[in-house]
Amino acid sequence: MATIRYNAGASLRPPSSRFRSPTCILSFFRPTKSKSARAKSDLLSLISDQDRGLKTQSDPSKRAEIISAIDALELLGEGSVTTGKSLSATWRMLWTTEKEQLFIIKNAGLFGTKAGDVLQVIDVEEMRLNNVITFPPTGVFFVRSTIEPEPEPPQRVNFKFTSAVLRSSDREIPLPPFGQGWFESVYLDDDIRVAKDIRGDYLVVERAPYSWTE
């Protein structure tokens, strides 16, 4: 009868240089929290001195850098569903390429005021979106919209403007609704959201420390 001998001091595992478990191999290709954190940090650093996008308008190379950083985050968020309850929030704008909003921010001084926070207020359950530009202390311009998330792609939300209001402390001017389209939240976490829309514009927003209501 053959005798099987065991070396008590030998490791039963193959040398690490010659073996990789399937889990280890798969984890190399899986987006990790550290990758997301690094890509997010890169983006926030790039936009930190861009005055919400005003400076980027005259700096094509900076714009290209920022969009490249957005693309990196989009890749990490690919396939994730971003149209659920976590989308509901008061979002404060950090950076955008949207010319209309940047025009108002830049030229508010011509009307004797200054633009404050620029917000997107989203309520998924109520299927409602308000785009808001504040003019402290009491002025505000906001556009009401209805929204409808799409099942595919899982990051897209359709919107349709229904009315607009310019409000000050003593008057309110209604304006006609204008336009419809869609936006995709290509990255969403507990702090920020990154979106692109039907016109090819980009938006980076953070969760505001307050809730805006009409």
Q: What pLDDT band is residue 165 in, cutting at 50, 70 and 90?
A: very high
Q: Residues 197-213: pLDDT tens digits?
A: 999 999 999 999 999 99
pTM over 0.75: yes
Could you give the CA distance from residue 129 to residue 145 in angstroms, rounded to a whole number? 5
pLDDT of 4 above 70: no
Report the pLDDT averaged over residues 85-91. Answer: 98
Q: What pLDDT band is residue 34 in, cutting at 50, 70 and 90?
A: confident
pLDDT of residue 32: 53
pLDDT of 25 above 60: no
Could you give the CA distance from residue 113 to residue 197 in angstroms, rounded to a whole number? 29
Report the pLDDT averaged over residues 168-191. Answer: 93
Q: What pLDDT band is residue 7 in, cutting at 50, 70 and 90?
A: very low
Report the pLDDT averaged over residues 138-142. Answer: 94
Sign of the CA dihedral with 72 first, then 76, 81, and 84 last: negative
pLDDT of residue 169: 86
Strands 139-149 and 128-135: antiparallel
Identify which has the larger pLDDT, 202 or 18.
202
pLDDT of residue 23: 43
pLDDT of residue 111: 79
* Paired tokens of 206: 């953070």
